[in-house]
């Protein structure tokens, strides 16, 4: 008997449904029966963490059983969040894109195990033949060997296919491959292949003018507002703009095999690689599938992902066995600090995934210290968190990773001196870590202490030979700015603490080409290959065009200065 594809899919779906229903999954209690209590609970933790606005959606079966906007879109205007409020989805962009790639696979247009370079040679990695091993499966399971984001030249963090390493760069390469295969740009591909078929009408990978009337405004840890990103070019790794209600449609598509064959969904949720190392009991049971994190606990298997674009934070989790899940979006840098409370308040259960993310919540020392540093002198604020030797933090309260993150939070908030002190302590507490020297070097660089910055970047590069960015910065601060075939000059700004040169020649990295003050002007000398380049200056974090160069180009949503290096 000949079995048609449609009949085969129907038989397989019936089998999988019966198989799943035969397994005994513990019930997941959705706390939506008393909405007033749930609302009070969520608003309490938002207030504790200083989160201005939050969008929540909860699904059960194939129904959206609860959705609500909490708080305000902006602390300035006090306009309310509602179920149509647009949030930046940050890395929740990746699972949706992976879903689109799997639709291409089902159509026979991409082989997940065929090296990507056979579809598209990638200029950014041609200097390392290892890139010819990267496949779509590796990218979607974060085992491509590429870093999250480059700092200067794009280089491998480890060999492709050998271990988990979260990478936005990998998703960008895969996006370029998809654009080549389909002949569409990323936005058009996702609209046609995923967003429109699923009915996600309030979602887009680029900015739409009608979003302006109801968009969440980003806030830092202290509640200060910033302008939201209005992407005019789509990026598979981070540019999705959406609502909690819209994203819940995607959750249900995964839970009920909509738009993809049941066997494809099963493949998406299959363990491709372990996230944590053997023996890590606290974070055990964490894996990655094709575009989604996977969690195995006594509550049953779950898929999950988080998003962090700095001042937009979000989290999604769902249980395929019980057909329940939730997603929430926030417009605050503190939004993931309450992930455990929000998820447990809705679903209950145990979440090694959230522990692995390790964001500071209101009850944790790092959160309290950050708030104290905003109000008090450093020496007063740090006193309760010092080790007995008084030289650095108590590492039982503030470990290396948490302290480092707090230092960068302070840098973002413009509290450079406090950041420098925190990162200096971290260096004293963890003298064997190359990363602490790199971070302290950045604080020194941002504070205008260029000689000292060169010293500590040099130490970081010596301890970690793979840290190409540290090597470049140390070189540029000691020798590089005295050499090169192209000289960049910026007059004025004598009181600026940090001025740097960014451009197409360094992937727009704001650190790798610091400028030096020389004879009443800022100077950078670079050794560049012949070709056309776009660039800008960055003065204490603010990008400006070259005032002595009238030639500009509109690129990546911004005007850039243009110059050409000739033979």
b/e per residue 274-300 (b: at least 16 CB within 10 A): bbbeeeeeebbbbbbbbbbbbbebebb
State mean pLDDT over 274-278: 83
State mean pLDDT over 270-285: 79
Closest to 444 measured CA to CA, from 465, 467, 460, 463? 460
State mean pLDDT over 182-202: 98
* pLDDT digit string, tens, across residues 31-69: 777 889 999 999 999 999 999 999 999 999 999 999 999
Whether residue 518 has pLDDT greater than 80:
yes
* pLDDT digit string, tens, across residues 193-222: 999 999 999 999 999 999 999 999 999 988
Strand, helix or coil for residue 535: strand
Residue 30 pLDDT: 76
Closest to 26 measured CA to CA, from 342, 346, 321, 325? 321
Domains and CATH numbers, the chain: 27-91+199-357 (3.40.710.10), 95-189 (no CATH), 365-478 (1.25.40.10), 481-565 (2.60.40.10)
Q: How far apart are CA 148 and CA 304, in angstroms?
A: 18
Whether residue 532 has pLDDT greater than 70:
yes
Alpha helices in 50-128 (DSSP H): 93-106
* pLDDT digit string, tens, across residues 63-77: 999 999 999 999 999
Output the CA angle 305-287-242, nearest 5 degrees: 15
Q: How far apart are CA 301 and CA 286, in angstroms?
A: 10
Hunting for tokens 């600026």 — which residue is that?
Answer: 496
Q: How far apart are CA 386 and CA 347, in angstroms?
A: 37
Q: How far is CA 514 from the centre of its chain?
A: 25
DSSP bridge partners of 196: none
Tell me the pairing of strands 324-330 and 53-60: antiparallel
State mean pLDDT over 496-502: 95
Residue 279 pLDDT: 62
Q: How far apart are CA 92 and CA 243, in angstroms?
A: 11
Q: How far apart are CA 342 and CA 315, in angstroms?
A: 10
- Which helix (H) or strand (E) covers residue 14, if one does? helix 5-22
State mean pLDDT over 356-373: 87
- 480 φ/ψ angles, rounded to the nearest 5 degrees: -60, -40
Q: How far apart are CA 102 and CA 289, in angstroms?
A: 12
Percent of the chain scoring above 90 in pLDDT: 79
Whether residue 533 has pLDDT greater than 80:
yes
pTM: predicted TM-score of the whole model, two decimal places: 0.83
Longest dimension (CA), the chain: 87
* Structural Rg of the chain based on CA atoms: 24
Residue 23 pLDDT: 61
Residue 150 pLDDT: 84
17-26, 229-238, 513-522: the lowest-pLDDT one: 17-26
State mean pLDDT over 273-292: 83
Share the mean pLDDT of the chain. 91
* pLDDT digit string, tens, across residues 9-25: 443 444 444 444 446 67
């Amino acid at each position: 008997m000949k079995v048609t594809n449609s009949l085969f899919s129907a038989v397989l779906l019936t089998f999988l449904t019966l198989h799943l229903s035969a397994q005994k999954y513990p019930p997941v209690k959705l706390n939506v029966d008393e909405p007033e209590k749930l609302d009070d609970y969520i608003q309490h933790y938002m207030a504790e963490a200083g989160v201005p606005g939050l969008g929540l959606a909860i699904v059960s079966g194939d129904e959206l059983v609860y959705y609500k906007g909490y708080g305000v879109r902006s602390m300035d205007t006090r306009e309310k969040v509602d179920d149509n409020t647009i949030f930046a989805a940050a890395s929740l962009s990746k699972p949706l894109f992976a879903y689109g790639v799997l639709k291409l696979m089902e159509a026979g247009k991409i082989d997940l195990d065929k090296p990507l370079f056979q579809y598209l040679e990638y200029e950014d990695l041609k200097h390392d033949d290892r890139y010819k091993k990267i496949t779509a499966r590796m990218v979607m399971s974060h085992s491509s060997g590429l870093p999250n984001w480059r700092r200067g030249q794009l280089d491998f963090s480890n060999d492709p296919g050998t271990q988990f390493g979260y990478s936005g760069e990998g998703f960008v390469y895969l996006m370029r491959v998809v654009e080549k295969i389909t002949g569409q740009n990323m936005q058009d591909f996702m609209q046609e292949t995923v967003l429109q078929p699923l009915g996600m009408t309030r979602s887009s990978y680029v900015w739409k003018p009608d979003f302006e009337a109801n968009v969440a405004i980003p806030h830092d840890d202290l509640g200060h507002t910033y302008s939201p990103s209005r992407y005019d070019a789509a990026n598979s790794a981070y540019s999705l703009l959406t609502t909690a209600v819209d994203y819940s449609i995607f959750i249900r598509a995964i839970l009920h095999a909509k738009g993809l064959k049941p066997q494809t969904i099963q493949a998406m949720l299959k363990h491709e690689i372990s996230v944590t190392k053997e023996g890590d009991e606290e974070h055990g049971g964490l894996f990655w599938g094709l575009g989604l994190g996977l969690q195995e606990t006594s509550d049953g298997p779950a898929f999950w992902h988080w998003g962090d674009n700095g001042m937009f934070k979000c989290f999604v989790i769902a249980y395929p066995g019980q057909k329940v899940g939730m997603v929430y979006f926030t417009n605050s840098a503190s939004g993931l600090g309450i992930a455990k409370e929000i998820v447990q308040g809705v679903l209950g259960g145990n979440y090694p995934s959230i522990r692995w993310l390790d964001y500071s919540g209101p009850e944790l020392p790092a959160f309290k210290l950050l708030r104290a540093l905003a109000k008090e002198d450093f020496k007063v604020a740090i006193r309760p968190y010092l080790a007995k030797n008084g030289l650095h933090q108590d590492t039982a309260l503030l470990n290396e990773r948490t302290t480092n993150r707090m230092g960068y939070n302070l840098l973002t908030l413009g509290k450079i001196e406090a950041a420098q002190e925190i990162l200096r302590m971290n260096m004293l507490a963890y003298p064997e870590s190359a990363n602490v020297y790199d971070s302290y070097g950045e604080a020194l660089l941002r504070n205008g202490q260029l000689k000292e910055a060169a010293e500590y970047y040099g130490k970081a590069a010596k301890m970690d030979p793979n840290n190409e960015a540290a090597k470049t910065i140390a070189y540029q601060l000691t020798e590089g700015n005295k050499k090169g075939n192209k000289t960049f000059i910026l007059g004025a700004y004598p009181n600026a603490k940090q001025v740097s040169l960014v451009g197409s020649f360094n992937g727009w990295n704001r650190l790798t080409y610091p400028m030096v003050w020389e004879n009443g002007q800022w100077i950078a000398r670079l050794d560049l290959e012949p070709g056309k380049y776009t660039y800008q200056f960055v003065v204490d974090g603010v990008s400006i065009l070259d005032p002595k160069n009238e030639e500009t180009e509109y690129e990546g949503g911004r005007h850039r200065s243009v110059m050409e290096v000739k033979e």
